Structure 1
Amino acid sequence: MKDFVGELYVLFSYPKNIILLISRIVLAYGFSLPALLKINDLEGTISWFESISIPFPTLLAYMVSGLESIGIILLILGLFTRYISILLAFVMIGAILFVHLPNGFLASNGGFEIPLYYFIFLMIFATFGAGKYSLDRVLLKDGNNE
């Protein structure tokens, strides 16, 4: 049984870095529309943040739109992945608490389902890094050497 489990581990470790790469790209794509909407209408974003009682709405509108925009690029490149993932995870916590939580869980009702999934993916990247196919590994020697 121990050999079987060991073989399964080896088998499933092969696609790990490809899965990390695809996950980074998919997550970056998921951030792209909300980031563009915020950055293209910062005044609207500030007004929206004020309407839902987000503290320091002007500062946070600039910070969130900037982090999301930069985060898209860094996630795709796999550069500073652990750091940007932690920062974006805080953005997701804010999105869950201030925007989505009152609507329940389901995304179809505007709930916190999608931001929760993003948060989980971001925590995976913060924990395991960007993987072999990333600039983190090339430039910073951070990533999986497998």
Structure 2
Amino acid sequence: MNLIHKIEHWGDSHHPQWIDYLRIALGILILVKGMSFVGDLDGVGALVQQVNYKLYIWGGVHYIVFAQIVGGLFLIFGFQTRLAAAVLLPILFGAVFFVNITNGFSFLNSELWLSIIVFIFLIVFLIMGSGKYSLDNLMDKPGYSRKI
């Protein structure tokens, strides 16, 4: 058994029930942030203007929006939680170290602290997985038939 399987097994066997509620709340928070990013067209326009309308910025914006909305839904329902956390980690890494840090490490910089907390929780769910109240757990039960 390699290291990744050992970590997955440990996370699956040491999963308290309250962590599922935390996963759902985190998913809702990420989904809301993704939806607010879609609704903030002026902010996206300012971001694109700063980099002179380069094509890769639009690709990055679409990746961030898609990953936050779909990843938030995956976290809420507990479907492929480790994959969703792995996809969202680069976004939060960028939010912590490239976007919010420009305002400085101060107690009043609430966006930075929120980004740090979400980043830490994503690492936790990358290790711990979905939990008892999740689609992953429901689909792993015997008797569940996967009809395609």
**TM-score of Structure 1 vs Structure 2, range by shorter chain:** 0.7 to 0.9
Q: Which runs of 4+ in 1 moved over 4 A?
A: 41-44
Q: How far is 1:44 from its partner?
A: 4.2
**In the comparison of the two structures, how many residue pairs are matched?**
127
Q: How far is 1:108 from its partner?
A: 2.6
2:86 is the counterpart of 1:86: yes
Instruction: Note the residue ranges of structure 2 that are not aligned, 5 or more in a row.
Output: 1-12, 142-148
In structure 2, what is the equivalent of residue 114 of structure 1?
114
2:30 is the counterpart of 1:31: yes
Q: Is the 8 A contact 1:24 1:76 kept in 2?
A: yes
Aligned partners of 1:66 and 1:80: how far apart in 2?
A: 16
Greater RCO structure (CA 8 Å; 6+ sep): 2
Q: Is the 8 A contact 1:92 1:118 kept in 2?
A: yes
Instruction: Note the residue ranges of structure 1 that are not aligned, 5 or more in a row.
Output: 1-12, 142-146
Q: Is the 8 A contact 1:103 1:110 kept in 2?
A: no
Q: How far is 1:52 from its partner?
A: 7.4
C-alpha change, 1:112 and 1:123, in structure 2 (3 Å) is same
Aligned partners of 2:45 and 2:92: how far apart in 1?
A: 17
**Mean Cα deviation higher: 109-118 or 126-135:** 109-118
CA RMSD of aligned residues (A): 2.7
* Identical amino acids, percent of aligned pairs: 28
Q: How far is 1:71 from its partner?
A: 1.2
C-alpha change, 1:94 and 1:107, in structure 2 (3 Å) is farther
C-alpha change, 1:107 and 1:40, in structure 2 (3 Å) is farther
- State the TM-score, normalizing by the size of structure 1: 0.73
- State the TM-score, normalizing by the size of structure 2: 0.72
